[in-house]
Structure 1
Amino acid sequence: MRTVSRRLSGLRWRLAALTIAAFVCLPVAALILTAFEGSAGLWPHMLRYVLPTALRETLLLLLGVGMLTTLIGTTTAWIVTAYTFPGRRFLEWGLLLPLAVPTYIIAYAYLDILHPVGAVQGALRHLLGYSSPREFRLPDIRSMWGCIFLLGLVLYPYVYLTTRSMFLTQAANLVEVSRTLGNRRHDVFRRVALPLARPAIAVGVSLALMETLNDIGASEFLGVKTLTVSIYTSWVSRSDMPGAAQISLAMLVLVIGLVLIERHARRNQRYTATAQRPRAMTPSRLTGYRAAGAFVLCITPIVLGFVAPAVYLCAEAYKRYRFAGLSDRLLGEVVNTITVSTIATVVILLCGLVVAYAARTCPGRQTAIAARISTVGYAVPGTVLALGLLMPVGAFDRLLSSGAERYLGVSVGLLLLGSGSAIVLAYCVRFMAIATGGIEAGFSRISPSLDHAARMLGQTSAGVFRRIHLPLSKPALVSAGLLIFVDCMKELPATLLLRPLNFETLATHLYGEAARGTYEEASIAALLIVAIGILPVVVLSRVGRIERRETAAPTA
């Protein structure tokens, strides 16, 4: 009987994990069906007039952002790891601060900061002796180079974080052997550290490029017509859902291509450590102008990517508050944002627990596939997810409404779309990877012997989960939950396209005001988003300190 009970319990976990994986695949399947609803003559028009421009702009943006994030992230990660100088302790976690600024907020801020009649260009003209913008003005930030520059400033921490973790875990003996062979510190970086860090760099760059593809606010504000902007324009402005679905499929092909290229580039690379607990490298001390140069080099992306927009937002929010105070509308948007993000975070964590625990307690091909499929939503831009969810969610709402009218005589309307539940569903698909990955990492620190001991004492798989795994994985759950909450709060494309009528969050409020050019009206909302966005930076910096202590721990 006990064996049968265990098999049934394992079957329930496996079915639950497969159901979640199937739900993650639902938007893509619906997207394909929607694309085929278009007329046969639509594809030639898309291929001739829409896709070439959108694809060219997108590829140029990805190339530029990839190069800039690699340069900034890798360089700063090596400097704060290989050298010690005044201010280094602040830079270690300060370089993560631009993660708190969503891409659409930095575009919104710099559009006003660098306006031709703004304070910055006005001060430059005064110093250079010019009297009007006609005589002297900086290049327009509304351009491809401006979009690449601003996105690179806020997305480089993805590369910095993964690359620094790799540098911290590289064995010191590799660096020391290279130094004994006559290589200088920068030669060690070029010949030893950089090649070994290629997997981490590739992961960080791929995350930055996924965020670039997901962006809609910054690209639209800066006049770059990417695939994401084309999807939004086709759907909202021209009411052409099949056309938007077809562009979305082209975008998915691009995403899959990026993933395949990244894996192909690393197909023959293998990296192994020569010691079970490698000793971290000892940083070299810099003094004088070298220390000052290293500090300036590392502080510059922090100033441009976080300090400048944060100071601007504080100043604008203060002026707005003195002029009109806090409006009831803004308070309602804060409540909407917190409510939707909290509900989504709880649901995502529950689904992530199911998938991760099924993979642990029922190891096999099915649960492994379910775990991998549940993470693919993070690679799908929010605009594509919103479009893919609209058809099945709308069909469910219509079916439910007709059933309620027929059998109960009441009209429930569009229940999921009208209540905001569709936004929660989109968040679940988009950020399931954070929950699954974080919880799997937490479970990996729990010894399997604890599972075996609990089962020998008569606990079912649910009992082992409740009494062993859930309490021991609380730190991983808290970290993952915090990251998910902030990502949900900052998510713009899916929220913008699936929100009910008269339902605004901080992100959609900011987008609407910036699109109308009323920047002062959006300053408080933008400042609130940035303030809450600092929370994951605190978590990531704390994790980094723990990793350094573990790396520096002496071997027994």
Structure 2
Amino acid sequence: MNKLKPIINYLSSRGWVAIVIMIASLIATPILFVISSIFVDAGTIWKHLAETVLSGYILNSLLLMFGVGIGVLIIGVVTAWLVTLCRFWGCDWFEWLLLLPLSAPAYLLAYTYTNMLEYYGPVQTILRSWFGWQNVNDYWFPNIRSLWGAIVMLILVLYPYVYLLAITAFLEQSFSTLEASLSLGCSPWQSFLKVALPLARPGIMAGLALALMEALNDFGTVQYFGVNTFTTGIYDTWFGLGERTAAAQLAAFLMLFIFTLIILELWSRRQARYYQNSIPQSHINRYQLTSWRALLAWLICFIPFFGGFLAPSIYLVDLVINNAKTAFQNNFFTLASHSLKVSVITAIAALILSLIMAYGKRLQNSFLMNGSVRIAALGSVKPEGAIR
């Protein structure tokens, strides 16, 4: 029996490889289809797109990426540092409250904030009553249905990607290194910038890549706000112009943005080495914040939670209460049950597939296995419009 054990283990590992390759092939099928469309002649439609809207797609997509990237980095990293290594009133609550905006889709926030901030919405109505303004010509109010509005909406729902992975990265660091930096004369702020932040960079960049993928793939928010990006361009080209090949080629061009980001990040840390921490979290010596520093830390954590979850939730609950009869008509419970079933089934399927690939990689850390897992991970790169 002992002689057969290596053979059984070998066959078992080969079976896991086959399963992982099958999963990766299934996930990669849409990607390969989109990439293959590059070699198909789309006729004169590209000339029309280049002369009219293509430059706008590129510029708006780049601006969206830049704005969302800066926003999620600042909010995600700073809040993760505060709840992980600082102590102030409510820090333990904020550790999980800051994850709640991830549960709200960006387009839902777009609809909610548009209703809240429009001319007849509660915000402008209250301002007019306070200051005695009669009409819109008496004051200026920013137009949320714009590029900057889309950037803010996406920041509010996507910063938890960076926040969650940054927390994990900060907790896995060697805190003896941080203590050594403090003993050498670094302030807590200098220790964060010079020691903690560089050590946490792999996790932070992974969260940033996920957030940027979601931002570039978003359709509902940018379409509702009238911002022309690659996702709206794919949809308009396919369904508006009836050009499926050109739409797939636009999707392939969009995928190049994400591939470029991933390659640049991997190249930037190709020779870097990072070390994890074995000290339990309970042994971490947190910085005790008092007076105005504690208040500032509380506000920094509260504002993204308030903007990304609490404020829209209060407004939506108020709408439901004031329109209870209408809200529970039109197949409300049927639609809610369908949403719940789809989310549960999707979550279970994603969990099972992830466990299979993770265990397969642990069982056989080969080039073929690693390549299959990486290909499967590229499933999040697919633009929404390209797979509809």
TM over 0.5: yes
Pairing 1:191-202 to 2, within 5 Å after superposition:
191-202=194-205
Greater RCO between the two (CA within 8 Å, min separation 6)?
2
| 1:150 equivalenced with 2:153 (yes/no) | yes
The question of whether the paired residues in 2 share the 8 Å contact of 1:17 and 1:354 is answered with yes
Residue from 51, 54, 61 that aligns with 1:51: 54
Hey, what's the Cα distance between the residues in 1 that align with 2:15 and 2:275? 38
The verdict on how the C-alpha distance between 1:347 and 1:272 changes in structure 2, with shifts beyond 3 A counting, is closer
Residue-pair matches, total: 384
Hey, what's the Cα distance between the residues in 1 that align with 2:13 and 2:198? 43
The question of whether the paired residues in 2 share the 8 Å contact of 1:99 and 1:157 is answered with yes
| 1:267 equivalenced with 2:304 (yes/no) | no
Deviations 1:112-141 (A, max 9, x none): 111122110121233233221221131100
User: SS of 2:143's equivalent?
Assistant: coil
The verdict on how the C-alpha distance between 1:70 and 1:6 changes in structure 2, with shifts beyond 3 A counting, is closer
Hey, what's the Cα distance between the residues in 1 that align with 2:54 and 2:190? 44
Pairing 1:364-513 to 2, within 5 Å after superposition:
364-384=366-386, 386=387, 497=388
Shift of 1:32: 3.6
User: SS of 1:134's equivalent?
Assistant: helix
Hey, what's the Cα distance between the residues in 2 that align with 1:180 and 1:5? 54
Hey, what's the Cα distance between the residues in 2 that align with 1:10 and 1:184? 50
Aligned to 1:543: none
Hey, what's the Cα distance between the residues in 2 that align with 1:169 and 1:346? 28
| 1:299 equivalenced with 2:302 (yes/no) | yes
For residue 326 of structure 1, what is the amino acid of its counterpart?
A: F
Shift of 1:241: 0.9
Hey, what's the Cα distance between the residues in 2 that align with 1:313 and 1:8? 55
Hey, what's the Cα distance between the residues in 1 that align with 2:364 and 2:172? 32
The question of whether the paired residues in 1 share the 8 Å contact of 2:205 and 2:265 is answered with yes
| 1:207 equivalenced with 2:210 (yes/no) | yes
Range with bigger deviation, 147-156 or 33-42: 33-42
Range with bigger deviation, 333-342 or 293-302: 333-342
For residue 178 of structure 1, what is the amino acid of its counterpart?
A: S
Pairing 1:56-455 to 2, within 5 Å after superposition:
56-273=59-276, 276-277=278-279, 281-322=284-325, 324-384=326-386, 386=387
The question of whether the paired residues in 2 share the 8 Å contact of 1:10 and 1:358 is answered with yes
Deviations 1:449-472 (A, max 9, x none): xxxxxxxxxxxxxxxxxxxxxxxx
Structure 1: give runs of 5+ residues left out of the alignment: 387-496, 498-556
Range with bigger deviation, 152-161 or 37-46: 37-46
The verdict on how the C-alpha distance between 1:7 and 1:190 changes in structure 2, with shifts beyond 3 A counting, is closer
How many percent identity over aligned positions?
35
User: SS of 2:53's equivalent?
Assistant: helix
For residue 72 of structure 2, what is the amino acid of its counterpart?
A: T
The question of whether the paired residues in 1 share the 8 Å contact of 2:173 and 2:275 is answered with no
The verdict on how the C-alpha distance between 1:267 and 1:362 changes in structure 2, with shifts beyond 3 A counting, is closer
For residue 332 of structure 1, what is the amino acid of its counterpart?
A: T
The question of whether the paired residues in 2 share the 8 Å contact of 1:70 and 1:205 is answered with yes
CA RMSD in angstroms comes to: 2.5
TM-score w.r.t. the length of structure 2 is 0.90
Deviations 1:330-370 (A, max 9, x none): 23323333344444444444444544444444553323322
Pairing 1:25-44 to 2, within 5 Å after superposition:
25-34=28-37, 36-44=39-47
Aligned to 2:17: 14
User: SS of 1:239's equivalent?
Assistant: coil
Structure 2: give runs of 5+ residues left out of the alignment: none
Shift of 1:81: 2.4
Range with bigger deviation, 346-355 or 92-101: 346-355
TM-score w.r.t. the length of structure 1 is 0.64
Aligned to 1:500: none
Shift of 1:68: 0.8
The question of whether the paired residues in 1 share the 8 Å contact of 2:222 and 2:232 is answered with yes
The question of whether the paired residues in 2 share the 8 Å contact of 1:101 and 1:306 is answered with yes
Range with bigger deviation, 176-185 or 300-309: 176-185
